[in-house]
């Protein structure tokens, strides 16, 4: 990603093309945000314009994905100013293994402090083949989390399909949960959990207080898979929200879209409208 260091006239014009949605944060006790991977191609062209457009839609939170780690300190400060000017928070970042490696922890802490994040979330465990391999992953996560905690931050882990599939009689996500601290966030990617036949509601209830954020990614069987918009798939959203808010300890939601039949920004806007409609029922 080539960062756009300043808000240009083009950025503002592009942002203004997205009609703002009249929606007060007071209508929902839990902030709703966008995992910016959903608009990755737009981000690569013009980050300031994309984040501005997302804010004008009504998203309250954003989550930056792995390329943020390679930003300069100065550019990271520019992004933080943009967020502050827009009234949007970055509660967490989506990270590769480097942010949890001993040699990369300090940089991850620095960049997340600048962005105002609370959680540094690992989204890549490599490819462990055994439960012992997953225990080693948990050890790495725990070691980094201790350093994050000392700096006023918290660690987290984002699942994909693999973590919810049985391995040697147990699901790897259970190994992660059992071998990381109680303040370590288990960020639930709903769609991938549902795709492999696991019950997201049961998982949330079995890990009270640790499901501090969820990626609201829908899924449908067959060729549509992850191209469906939020609310068009088979994920049981009302039950998921009820569990997250009564037991999971959710602090914010993040809509995520891998791709759809619409352009990225229109997809993000349609998903937010669907979320608001569902929550108002």
Question: For residue 52, what are the CA distances in angstroms to 26, 48, 130, 166, 171?
Answer: 21, 6, 44, 42, 40
Would you say residue 69 has pLDDT above 80? yes
Output the six-digit token pair for 257.
Answer: 């879209």
The dotted CATH code for 38-280 is 3.20.20.150
Rounded CA gap, 36 and 39, in Å? 5
pLDDT at position 16 is 38
Q: Which residues contact 265 (CB under 8 A, 6 or more apart)?
A: 18, 39, 42, 50, 53, 54
Q: Which residues contact 197 (CB under 8 A, 6 or more apart)?
A: none
pLDDT at position 30 is 97
Would you say residue 13 has pLDDT above 70? no
pLDDT in tens, 97-142: 999 999 999 999 999 999 999 999 999 999 999 999 999 999 999 9
pLDDT in tens, 168-191: 999 999 999 999 999 999 999 999
Question: For residue 218, what are the CA distances in angstroms to 99, 112, 205, 222, 237?
Answer: 28, 28, 20, 13, 9
Would you say residue 24 has pLDDT above 80? no
Rounded CA gap, 198 and 183, in Å? 24
b/e string for 208-246 if b means 16 or more Cβ within 10 A? eebbbbbbbbbbbeeeeebbbbbbbbebebeebbebbee
pLDDT in tens, 39-61: 999 999 999 999 999 999 999 99
Q: Measured on CA atoms in the order 43, 79, 105, 159, is the torsion positive or negative?
A: negative
* Domain parsing of the chain, residue ranges: 38-280
């Amino acid at each position: 990603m080539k960062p756009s260091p300043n808000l240009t006239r083009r950025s503002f014009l592009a942002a203004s093309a997205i009609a703002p949605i009249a929606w007060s944060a007071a209508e929902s006790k839990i902030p709703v945000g966008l995992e910016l991977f959903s608009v990755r191609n737009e981000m690569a062209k013009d980050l300031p314009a994309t984040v501005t457009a997302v804010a004008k839609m009504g998203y309250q939170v954003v989550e930056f994905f792995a390329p943020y780690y390679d930003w300069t300190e100065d550019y990271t400060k520019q992004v933080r100013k943009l967020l502050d000017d827009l009234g949007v928070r970055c509660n967490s970042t989506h990270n590769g293994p480097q942010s949890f490696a001993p040699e990369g922890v300090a940089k991850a802490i620095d960049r997340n402090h600048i962005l105002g994040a609370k959680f540094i979330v690992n989204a890549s465990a490599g490819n462990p083949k055994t439960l012992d391999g997953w225990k080693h992953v948990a050890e790495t996560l725990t070691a980094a989390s201790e350093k994050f905690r000392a700096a006023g931050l918290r660690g987290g882990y984002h699942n994909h399909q693999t973590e919810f599939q049985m391995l040697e009689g147990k699901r790897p996500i259970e190994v992660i949960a059992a071998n990381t601290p109680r303040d370590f966030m288990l960020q639930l990617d709903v769609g991938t959990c549902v795709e492999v036949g696991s019950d997201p509601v049961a998982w949330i209830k079995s890990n009270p207080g640790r499901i501090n954020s969820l990626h609201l990614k829908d899924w449908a069987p067959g060729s549509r898979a992850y191209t469906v918009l939020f609310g068009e798939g088979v994920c049981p959203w009302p039950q998921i929200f009820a569990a997250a808010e009564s037991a999971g300890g959710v602090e914010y939601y993040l809509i995520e879209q891998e791709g759809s039949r619409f352009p990225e920004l229109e997809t993000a806007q349609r998903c937010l409208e669907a979320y608001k409609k569902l929550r108002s029922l």
